[in-house]
A = this chain, B = another copy of it.
């Protein structure tokens, strides 16, 4: 995997980019949350495309970073330039969420009893360090300093699509995390739960 070492050379295409494919990803659009019974973990909002692939980017002197064009296109599907960034609670990276994703989380948290300890802990963890971000006409946004510090972001960082969310990593930390994920996926033979589940 080569890239912009020292600011010179290297293709600008996303990391591990494959040959050109149609940009519309139909699976996401046709998935319906009303299929099947049982628990529904998340909603897919019509028009929103998935965040896919990994994209290298740079922080400049003013703390600005270019939001990857494909991620902008994903948000374009819901006519939005706004997303949310928060320190990940499990990994040393920044988690990115779209407005619909945040709204879905917010809706579910609102089902909890006010002033329960569970609600207080979840709200603080999910909202207490979550920054609302809007990218500008050039496709850039200012990365909050506390997130730079938390994830150890340097000049080079990587946006990693995770479907309906994305993550932002320091490059080396991402490599370690990916290796761990691959190993665990192999160990567990990587089963993906279906959507229809019998009641508990």
Contacts and interface: CB of A to CB of B under 8 A. Distances in A.
Interface string A73-107: 00000000000100001110000000110110111
A107 B185 contact: no
A128 B162 contact: yes
A7 interface: no
Counting chain B CB atoms within 10 Å of each CB, which of A90, A99, A105 scores highest? Answer: A90
Interface string A168-200: 000000000110111011100110111111111
A129 interface: yes
B100 A39 contact: yes
A50 interface: yes
Interface residues of A, number: 74
B111 A105 contact: no
A172 to B, nearest CB: 15
6 contacts: A50-B102, A50-B106, A89-B115, A126-B163, A128-B161, A128-B178
A79 to B, nearest CB: 12
